Structure 1
Amino acid sequence: MPGDRQKNYLQLHFIVFIWGFTAVLGKLITLEALPLVWYRMLIAVLLVFGYAKIRHISLKYNTKTLISFILSGLVIALHWFTFFLAIKVSNVSVTLACLSCGAFFASLFESVFYGRKVIGYELVLGLIVALALGTILYGRQLIFGDDTPLFAEDPSGHKPNIVLGVIIALISCALSAFFAIINGRLAKLYNPVAITFYELAGGVFFISVYLFFNGSFSKSFFALRWSDIMWLFLLGSACTAYAQIAAVKVMKFISPYTMMLTINLEPVYGIAIALFVFKDSEAMGPSFYIGAFVILCTVIINGILKNNIRFKK
């Protein structure tokens, strides 16, 4: 029904807003990328397991189904690892800018896995979003000649490797789109809580195996700062356990491409939140609002075109 569809779109935007916090949290947490993802997924899987038990949700599935869940968990684990690695290697802005390519990857993957032709307006909208995010991040330098950095300089003196950061971030973006394709199919068949639990558990398993054989499980690995514990719990609970379950529910009614296009708002939210947290209010120039407005327009246009096509059918 139209009301239910609108409700799902609004919930998706709320989820994307929550995901906007993840880049900032990744910057605030002092851990390296892989331990960070391990703790994030471990906290989330414990919370989802507790929720499943309280709500009496069955977690029993056949072996073939469990394997599909666990393998998709490997994909999301690799996405999060490369996402946080890109932030550590470069910076928040570069990583978030590359997420704008998600619509391109989603359109490509949907044509491969769903066997449908690439729709022209999807590619056009994806390109517009990419250009809009470029305007947000670099418009001040290109248009106004302002060299003020988007974010405050790292106090540790870390010099970002932009090229490597872009490469890693694009890999992360492709993995995110691939995960959306996989979950788009799983969400229509299985309970979202069960899917989320096994995907997170699968990610923890694969990372744990690597860390074990790499000799990383040492005393120092488990010696966390209190600030890291606080940020990790927020990351694992609201930004992962809740957001993943809610996202899988929404994907029952929304296509992977539409989800990836909406996720393009994550950089806008993430940059705005980062500006607030890092107190770099001077970076909020005209180019930010121009780019954000264009992205919002593409999301609205995508929804209108999709609804018109559905109505005609």
Structure 2
Amino acid sequence: MTAAQKAYLQLHLAVLLFGLTAILGKMIQLSALVLVWWRVLITSLSLMLLINVFKLLKTLPKRQLLVLVGIGTIVGLHWLAFYGAIKLSNSSVGVLAMGSTSLFSAILEPLILKKKFNTLELGLGFLIIPGMALVVNGIDFSMVDGLVVGVIAALLAALFAILNKSQVANLDAMSITFVELSSACLFLGLVIIGSGASSAGFPVMLPPHWSDWAYLLVLALLCTTFAYVLSLNALKHLTAFTSNLTMNLEPVYAIVLAWLLLNEDKEVSSTFYWGAAVIMAVVFSYPFLNKLEKSKSTT
């Protein structure tokens, strides 16, 4: 198995776990802000057992540390928007909006990394749009706010994936994850204090039921720590666009899980299947089309 093939497998496993986060987010009885804070707090604590934090902070250049803190803040905002979308609508609509990530990536990556625009990537990114349109067709109008917030989450997801691309070359994935998520934890903690969410005391921020603790642990340890490190390792061998394009399978995984676990199939019309087919066709065609394009350029 080549490094690229292994990276694709790692990325798809990460996407499946990311898809599960939407289901857990709907099941946990906390506001989006407090939920995300607990998620990054538990994840950061778990990573402290796996890396030498003091050595990392001592050897990490200050400029790179500040960059990672900034990316971590974007990650925190992304998850806040993502779970906000789920709370405003449902898990299916929340993840559907993430289908626009590849389009944002195709536009932003050349601008940020100062690369030439890739016609293939732009074309495939725009092909995601009709797939999304088919998938969301028939969704109740009351869920539109959730869809809009979800698109904002997709924009932020594309942004932090592109910025991470420049960091994975000279720092291991686990260290990047720790700095970024601990930064997100501190940022969201300040937001909680500033918004008055903790004015009633710390107990109001505790999960109301014992099952929420179990869901939070799965969300933080399996769907965040493990999945986040997998995706960053994969990014070493794949472009940010490829990563974000594959992330478009997250709605497919998440909606199937929502049907099985939350009975959300009643809220999704039959056109979902056509939209899912379009999204999957775009995702799986990219590696082959990219290889064909490269082979033509070398002949």
Shift of 1:202: 0.3
Distance 1:25 1:223 in 2: 13
- The residue aligned with 1:162 is 143
Q: Judge conservation of contact 1:97–1:134 (CA < 8 Å) in 2.
A: no
Distance 2:244 2:207 in 1: 37
- The residue aligned with 2:244 is 260
* 1:155-175 superposed Cα distances (whole Å, 9 cap, x missing partner): xxxxx7433222211111100
Q: Percent identity?
A: 31
Distance 1:178 1:53 in 2: 28
| 1:1-313 alignment, distance < 5 Å | 3-53=2-52, 58-59=56-57, 60-138=59-137, 141=138, 161-217=142-198, 218=201, 219-222=203-206, 224-280=208-264, 287-311=271-295, 312-313=297-298
Q: Structure 2, unaligned stretches of length 5 or more?
A: none
Q: How many pairs were matched up?
A: 293
Distance 1:58 1:223 in 2: 32
AA at the equivalent of 1:205: L
Shift of 1:7: 1.1
In structure 2, the CA distance between the partners of 1:21 and 1:109, relative to structure 1 (3 Å rule), is same
Shift of 1:4: 1.4
Q: Indicate the structure with greater helix content.
A: 2
Shift of 1:207: 1.1
- The residue aligned with 1:146 is none
Q: Judge conservation of contact 1:132–1:294 (CA < 8 Å) in 2.
A: yes
In structure 2, the CA distance between the partners of 1:281 and 1:113, relative to structure 1 (3 Å rule), is closer
Shift of 1:194: 0.7
Shift of 1:113: 1.0
Distance 2:83 2:237 in 1: 29
Q: Judge conservation of contact 2:89–2:146 (CA < 8 Å) in 1.
A: yes
Distance 2:262 2:206 in 1: 28
Q: Judge conservation of contact 2:40–2:185 (CA < 8 Å) in 1.
A: yes
Distance 1:223 1:38 in 2: 12
In structure 2, the CA distance between the partners of 1:53 and 1:189, relative to structure 1 (3 Å rule), is closer
Distance 1:97 1:194 in 2: 30
Shift of 1:53: 4.5
Shift of 1:248: 1.0
* 1:136-173 superposed Cα distances (whole Å, 9 cap, x missing partner): 342xx5xxxxxxx79xxxxxxxxx74332222111111
Q: Judge conservation of contact 2:93–2:146 (CA < 8 Å) in 1.
A: yes
Distance 1:209 1:226 in 2: 26
Shift of 1:286: 5.4
- The residue aligned with 1:155 is none
Q: Judge conservation of contact 1:93–1:137 (CA < 8 Å) in 2.
A: no
Q: Judge conservation of contact 2:173–2:232 (CA < 8 Å) in 1.
A: yes
Distance 2:277 2:129 in 1: 13
Shift of 1:258: 0.9
AA at the equivalent of 1:251: L
- The residue aligned with 1:145 is none
- TM-score, normalised by the number of residues in structure 2: 0.90
Shift of 1:58: 4.4
